[in-house]
Amino acid sequence: MNQVLTPAAGITKGSFGEVRLERVGKIYEKEIERLVALDEFSLTIERGKLTVLMGPSGCGKTVLINMIAGYEQPTSGTITLDGRPVQGPSCDRLVVFQESALFPWMSVYSNVVFGCQVQGIDPAEIRAKAELILRKVGLFEFRDKYPAHLSGGMQRRAELARALINDPKILILDEPFRGLDAMTRELMQEFYVGLFEEFGRTNLFITHEIDEAIFLADKLVIMTYQPGKVKAEIEIDLPRPRDFKMLASSRFMQIRAQTLELLYEESSKAFASGSKAAFDLVGALASSKDSCRIAG
Amino acid sequence: MKTPRGKLLKKVFSARTLRGLSSIVLFVVLWQLVVYLKVPYLQNLPYPEDVASHGLAAAVSTGYWIDWGLSLSRIFIGFIAAQLLGIPLGLAIGISRVFRGFTFPVFEILRPIPPIAWIPLAILFWPTRELSIYFLVFIGAFFIIVINVIQGVSNISVNLKWAAFSLGAKPNDIFWRILLPGSLPSIITGMTVGMGVTWNVLIAAEMIAAQGGLGRTTWEAYTNHNIPYIVVGMVSIGIAGYLCSTLLRWLGEKAMPWKRKF
Amino acid sequence: MSTSRKTGLLNPQIMRALIGIGVFLALWYLLTAVLQLPRFKLLPNPLSVIAEWISFEPVSGRSIFTKAFYLDMGFSIARTLIAFSLATFLGVLLGLIMGWNRIFYDFSFPIVEILRPMPPLSWIPLAVLILPGVELAVVYVTFIAAFFATVLNTLLGVFSIDKNYFLAASCLGSKPKHIFINIVVPGALPFIFTGLQIAMGVSWMSLVAGEIISGQQGLGYAIYEGYSLFQFDQVVCYMFTLGILGYISSAGIRALGRRLMAWESRRRGA
Amino acid sequence: MASETKEPGAIRIKHVSKIYDPQGVHVEAMRDCSFDIAAGEMAIIVGPSGCGKTTLLNAIAGFDDITAGEIFLDGELISSPTYQIKPNVDRMVVFQNGALFPWKTVIENIAYGPMVQGRLTKAAARDKAREMLEWVCLNGMEEKYPEELSSGVQRRVEILRALINEPRVVMLDEPFRGLDAVSKTVMHEFLMQLFCNRNRTMFFITHDLDEAIFLGHKVVIMTTRPAQVKKIVPIDLPWPREHRIMNSKRYLELKGEILEAVHEEAKKAFQAGERELA
């Protein structure tokens, strides 16, 4: 897949944005319940860097994305993009969703050009741009197919193309490779990291997979469980361009062990507070306390 | 390598096809036998060949085809009216919470009333019998389509709407390019289900109140004690209903190429 | 604090519903009783309908205080109940066996497919002629309506079961009867209940038609009788009665389904 | 707890091939696969998606037939083109997407096997099931339905449901797919402990190479479709293993070796997949 990565003039470089979250809080009030999803969350998503966010389920990652994208408003604090406050959805902050959000009733081509079309860009320009980007992601021959007729990996590439053609200042990816089989997932990571290394752009990537996180990231942010806060920021100093062989490097394994430790700590806390998402730890904590040993 | 023809032959002569055919033959033989042996209650059934000869006689008569035309035109007029009113109403209820709050309860009060129970009021209200039958057919399809459209709209993933907003879509784009195609599968389902109910309602309405039509001739065959023709009528209604559903399925496939499987 | 805002009559949800219903009734009244527009003046107005329904001495002889009303209801309910239970029993059984046994499916499915497109109501003349007594004919028509809906949904239900459950069960040493009881029946249950919901709706409709066309007694019959005797208030009363009964019966099925499928409702509740 | 027979569960796979041919679509899933799994060995199978690993599992379990070759279990023929032994309690499968019966509670699920086999009465089977749950510290889960549990716990229950039948071989088809890193760690420790105490032959399909090396006695790498054995890598790390081992030099060497082989096949498979769709 690397062979398709030749520079394409249609995708402009340099529209890098910087997102600053300052003491952001988000509280949900439902009936009598009061859920503090985020509390005093401060983070800078640096210009041109790939920031990866991890944390136990239910730590407010999705809320965070929704607020950066402008689908929801924070209860307190400010979110700014290049110094200007974020208000409502806009095409300078595009999200690639967990479950594919390609419009199933449009062909790949129509999906990719949708944004440009509704913004009223000149059709000839759209066509040229779309062709370039479709070739870039290796989907040019598939442009007339519907999303359901593509493989999972192709769908993800189509979605990346739909976002990139609009030249967003920040690209937000919410567990984009979830649901793909392990093999496709690894190849997509390679493809995506290649794309990133070529074009830069500010990226925020959310994932559950520890290997994926370390393989991709410039900076790894680990969140705490309810209320969501920044627990740790780890600079990933693996050299770029990244290569799959790094997965077997000792530096990689070191970072992995360190990250796992932090995540385990958070999951235990989540488990202790009764989160169903951290349920997997049941039995594990008990057996580690030696209160109950497996005996043949 | 196998030739396509070989594949076709294999399919035609597969165990499944043979079983299916033999079961149909068995069914006809059993029917014959039941009548021949004068099994209690079922002895009044006509012989299959009687039905067949009556069917053939009907197929070459103009009156029979006029009945087809009458029934089909009633179905289409009532059905299309139901879609024309039901789809916009469903979309409006599905999109606007406020509108839903006002209209849905009334809708829910009227919906459980069986369409056939509307017959007397329909006859009373509409100036002609024909109009009242259109109305009944309309009622049969209307509630189902509305419910399905509402479901269709609310089943559209919020991510799709958000994605469209992010990409710069205006409410107008969202409606025409997201909500409408997104609820299309439910609309088609609603139409298919509605079509089944509609035929049911039409037959009852024709039996009770119409002049001409497949339901009416079946009923007249009953009053004349022409039992083979009753069966001919039933089979014709079955075929007509089946053709209508097939037409809808075909339309659905045309309208939703993205759903097609390879 | 925030809870108080959402409950009570001031809740916008309930307010809107009440306003909606109020506007509907007012409009109905306006059209039929006040403005008396050409065709509308033939229809009964809501006040007279309600007055008739709760009157001690109804003109039609039928209100919630008369025996006749409950007799009509009883007949209809009994017919539906008999037909529906029979259809459920036979339909579920047939559907399960068809879905479970490939060979039986190959033999029986074509026949089901041939008989199914005939609307249940087209059976009325034949049923009246062949079956002794009108009562049986009405029940039969109601039965046929529910039967096919149940068979098809049960069949779909069995086909919807994840193949892995069958494989896992065979690994665990199940014999066919175990697979039937432990996999096929519970696995198809969600679809069976969808089928029963649909079947219930169709049954009521067919019942009414059967009663109108060939019946004696019952709500459908009374509706038509009311029409021929110019008791239009009674017609509307009975329409709503049918609506209420239909609603209650499908609610009953839903409740039963929730009880039988604890694993589903608990998941949703969680 | 161990069965009486001495070290049962050796599998021999000899020249196995499988061609699918439903209605003339000719798909060669496996070609001439041969390898052995010793009794009590944890054999990990890795290879690109859709390469035919599951086909092999189905053949051993008796779910599907093969077109050529033979499979033996403890010297006894269990599958050949003309002869197959039906799925049985001596070969248990834990499925990819989980196959706990959603309409049965945890304890009913575990007790199901011994009950339908007529080995234990209902009460005895439930007691045994409860004992097993306690044994792995999952007590308190008895009356829950599977879908109320997290996927990690579901998987553990499913493994218990297999083990209660004392099978000769346990086959796991990507059982920990989709779990997050922490849950996976818990699952690995769980399986490690189980394995150390109740030594069974395991046939374990996975994509996660860390999982493969951490748990396996040997890793069998398959090629893209039609599946052939590309390489068998014995894992010579000492038992029992702890996560610390992942930083050892030998571990990284093994991982590098396997990574390269798998990656090569994955790319081939991927390109073939794109061609097919075009």
Closest in D112, D116, D161 to C175, CB measured: D116
Which of A 153-172 lie inside 8 A of D, CB atoms? 153-154
Q: What is the pLDDT of residues D150-198, one digit of tens each?
A: 888 888 899 999 989 989 999 999 888 878 888 888 888 888 888 777 7
Q: Which residues are CB-contacts of C250 (< 8 A; sequence separation ≥ 6)?
A: B112, C197, C200, C201
B168 contacts A91? CB cut-off 8 A: yes
> Does residue A234 contact residue A53 with C-beta atoms inside 8 Å?
no
CA distance A195 to A102: 20
**Mapped to the 3 state alphabet, what secondary structure does A229-257 carry?**
CEEEEEECCCCCCCCHHHHHCHHHHHHHH
pLDDT at position A15 is 65
CA distance A80 to B121: 64
Give the pairing type, strands D42-46 and D201-205: parallel
> Does residue A89 contact residue B165 with C-beta atoms inside 8 Å?
yes
Q: Contacts of residue B102 in chain C, CB cutoff 8 Å?
A: 16-17, 19-20, 23
pLDDT at position D177 is 83
D112 contacts C182? CB cut-off 8 A: yes
DSSP for C165-233? HHHHHHHTT--HHHHIIIIIHHHHHHHHHHHHHHHHHHHHHHHHHHHHHH-SSSHHHHHHHHHHTT-HH
In a mutational test of the C interface, the residue from A31, A275, A276, A279 whose CB has the highest number of chain C CBs within 10 Å is: A31
- Pair (D231, D151) in one structural domain: no
- Pair (D71, D171) in one structural domain: yes
C183 contacts D95? CB cut-off 8 A: no
Q: Is A32 on the interface with D (CB under 8 A)?
A: no
pLDDT at position B6 is 59
pLDDT at position B240 is 94
Reported as half-sphere exposure (CB side, CA atoms, 13 A), residue A190 has a value of 20
Query: What angle, 0 to 180 degrees and rounded to 10, lies between the N-to-C axes of helices C102-115 and C67-100?
Result: 140
> Does residue D175 contact residue D155 with C-beta atoms inside 8 Å?
yes
Residue written as tokens 């037409």? B247
Work out the mean pLDDT of chain A and round it to a whole number: 82
Instruction: Please give the C-alpha separations between residue D18 and each of C129, C136, D51, in angstroms, as whole numbers.
Output: 60, 58, 12
Query: What angle, 0 to 180 degrees and rounded to 10, lies between the N-to-C axes of helices C102-115 and C134-160?
Result: 130
What is the mean pLDDT of the segment spanning B135-144? Answer: 94
B204, two tokens: 């009852």
pLDDT at position C241 is 92
B118, two tokens: 């509307």
- Pair (D228, D108) in one structural domain: no
CA dihedral C256, C258, C259, C261 (to 10 degrees): 120
- Pair (D75, D178) in one structural domain: yes
pLDDT at position C150 is 94
More confident residue, B96 or C5: B96
CA dihedral D22, D27, D32, D33 (to 10 degrees): -90
CA distance B217 to B211: 9
Chains linked to A by 3 or more Cβ pairs within 8 Å: B, C, D
Find the domain containing D65 and state its range.
Answer: 11-90+167-265
Tell me phi and psi for residue B2, to 5 degrees: -95, 145
Residue D275 lies in a domain: no
Residue written as tokens 């610390």? D244
Domain boundaries of chain C, sorted by first residue: 2-43, 67-269
Please report which confidence band the pLDDT of residue A52 belongs to, taking 50, 70 and 90 as the band edges.
Answer: very high
Find the domain containing A265 and state its range.
Answer: 2-92+168-288
> Does residue D188 contact residue D214 with C-beta atoms inside 8 Å?
yes
Per-residue pLDDT at B11 exceeds 70: no
- Pair (D153, D175) in one structural domain: no
D148 contacts C266? CB cut-off 8 A: yes
Tell me phi and psi for residue B3, to 5 degrees: -80, 155
B159, two tokens: 């991510």
This complex has an ipTM of 0.84
What is the mean pLDDT of the segment spanning B242-250? Answer: 93
pLDDT at position C7 is 52
D171, two tokens: 């086959």
Q: Contacts of residue C207 in chain B, CB cutoff 8 Å?
A: 114
Closest in C171, C172, C270 to D148, CB measured: C270
Number of domains within chain D: 2
**Mapped to the 3 state alphabet, what secondary structure does chain B carry?**
CCCHHHHHHHHHCCHHHHHHHHHHHHHHHHHHHHHHCCCCCHHHCCCHHHHHHHHHHHHCCHHHHHHHHHHHHHHHHHHHHHHHHHHHHHHHHHHCHHHHHHHHHHHHHHCCCCHHHHHHHHHHHCCCHHHHHHHHHHHHHHHHHHHHHHHHHHHCCHHHHHHHHHCCCCHHHHHHHHHHHHHHHHHHHHHHHHHHHHHHHHHHHHHHHCCCCHHHHHHHHHHCCCHHHHHHHHHHHHHHHHHHHHHHHHHHHHHCHHHCCC
Q: Closest Cα to residue C96, out of C25, C10, C195, C28?
A: C195
Please report which confidence band the pLDDT of residue D3 belongs to, taking 50, 70 and 90 as the band edges.
Answer: very low
> Does residue D236 contact residue D253 with C-beta atoms inside 8 Å?
no
DSSP for D87-111? P-TTEEEE-TT----TTS-HHHHHH
Q: How many CB atoms lie within 10 A of CB C97?
A: 17
Q: Contacts of residue D101 in chain C, CB cutoff 8 Å?
A: 165, 168-169, 182-183, 186
Work out the mean pLDDT of chain D and round it to a whole number: 86
Query: Residue A215: which CATH number?
Result: 3.40.50.300
CA dihedral C195, C201, C204, C209 (to 10 degrees): -110
Work out the mean pLDDT of chain B and round it to a whole number: 89
Q: Is A276 on the interface with C (CB under 8 A)?
A: yes
What is the CATH architecture of B50-259?
A: Orthogonal Bundle (1.10)
pLDDT digit of tens for each residue in chain C (270 aa)? 344 444 555 677 888 888 999 999 999 998 888 888 888 888 888 888 888 888 887 777 777 788 888 999 999 999 999 999 999 999 999 999 999 888 899 888 888 888 888 888 888 888 888 888 888 889 999 999 899 999 999 999 999 999 999 999 998 888 889 999 999 999 999 999 999 999 999 999 999 999 988 778 889 999 988 888 888 888 999 999 999 999 999 999 999 998 888 887 765 543
> Which amino acid, C36?
Q
Query: What angle, 0 to 180 degrees and rounded to 10, lies between the N-to-C axes of helices D151-163 and D122-135?
Result: 130
pLDDT at position B92 is 94
CA distance C225 to C214: 12
CATH topology of domain C67-269: MetI-like fold (1.10.3720)
DSSP state of C34: I
Please report which confidence band the pLDDT of residue A9 belongs to, taking 50, 70 and 90 as the band edges.
Answer: very low
D136 contacts A183? CB cut-off 8 A: no
Q: How many CB atoms lie within 10 A of CB B64?
A: 19
Residue A93's closest chain B neighbor by CA? B166
Per-residue pLDDT at A295 exceeds 50: no
Instruction: Please give the C-alpha separations between residue D194 and each of C174, D160, D216, in angstroms, as whole numbers.
Output: 26, 10, 14
Per-residue pLDDT at A291 exceeds 50: no
pLDDT at position C128 is 86
Q: What is the pLDDT of residues D78-127, one digit of tens each?
A: 988 888 888 888 899 998 888 899 999 999 999 999 999 988 999 999 99
Q: Is A104 on the interface with B (CB under 8 A)?
A: yes
Residue written as tokens 């062909």? A107
CA dihedral D222, D228, D229, D231 (to 10 degrees): -70
Give the pairing type, strands A33-45 and A84-85: unpaired
Angle (CA) A168-A169-A173 rounded to 5° is 70
Q: Is A166 on the interface with B (CB under 8 A)?
A: yes
Where a domain ends, among D142, D161, D180?
A: D161
Q: Which residues are CB-contacts of B176 (< 8 A; sequence separation ≥ 6)?
A: none
Percentage of the residues of chain B whose pLDDT score is greater than 70 = 94
Residue D210 lies in a domain: yes
H or E segment to which residue A223 belongs = strand A219-223
Please report which confidence band the pLDDT of residue A5 belongs to, taking 50, 70 and 90 as the band edges.
Answer: very low
Q: Is A90 on the interface with B (CB under 8 A)?
A: yes
Alpha helices in chain D (DSSP H): 53-61, 106-116, 122-135, 151-163, 181-197, 209-215, 249-277
In a mutational test of the D interface, the residue from A53, A280, A287 whose CB has the highest number of chain D CBs within 10 Å is: A280
CA distance A180 to D275: 19
CA distance A177 to A134: 19
H or E segment to which residue D77 belongs = strand D76-80
Q: What is the pLDDT of residues D238-263, one digit of tens each?
A: 877 887 888 888 999 999 999 889 88
Query: Residue D31: which CATH number?
Result: 3.40.50.300
Q: Which residues are CB-contacts of A132 (< 8 A; sequence separation ≥ 6)?
A: A8, A9, A10, A11
What is the mean pLDDT of the segment spanning A219-225? Answer: 88
Q: Closest Cα to residue A287, out of D173, D85, D192, B260?
A: D192
* Distance from the Cα of residue C252 to its chain's centroid: 10
Residue A145's closest chain B neighbor by CA? B258
Q: How many CB atoms lie within 10 A of CB A246?
A: 14
Kindly list the strands in the beta sheet with D11-20, ordered across the sheet, starting from the edge strand earlier in the chain.
D27-37, D11-20, D68-73, D76-80, D83-84
SS3 C31: helix
Residue B261's closest chain A neighbor by CA? A149
Residue A163 lies in a domain: no
CB environment D217-241: b (16+ within 10 A), e (fewer): bbbbbbbbbbbbbbeebebebeeeb
C164 contacts D99? CB cut-off 8 A: yes
Instruction: Find residue D17's DSSP bridge partners.
Output: D68
Residue A41 lies in a domain: yes
> Does residue B163 contact residue A163 with C-beta atoms inside 8 Å?
no
pLDDT at position A204 is 93
Q: What is the pLDDT of residues B184-220, one digit of tens each?
A: 999 999 999 999 899 999 999 999 887 889 999 999 9
Where a domain ends, among D161, D183, D208?
A: D161
Q: Which residues are CB-contacts of B210 (< 8 A; sequence separation ≥ 6)?
A: B70, B74, B129, B130, B133, B216
B259 contacts A148? CB cut-off 8 A: yes
Residue A13 lies in a domain: yes
- Pair (D106, D153) in one structural domain: yes
> A with D: how many residue pairs have Cβ under 8 Å apart?
133
More confident residue, D213 or A59: D213
SS3 A74: coil
> Does residue B116 contact residue C208 with C-beta atoms inside 8 Å?
yes
Number of domains within chain A: 1
- Pair (D188, D253) in one structural domain: yes
DSSP state of D16: E
pLDDT at position A292 is 40
- Pair (D174, D247) in one structural domain: yes
Instruction: Find residue D11's DSSP bridge partners.
Output: D37, D73
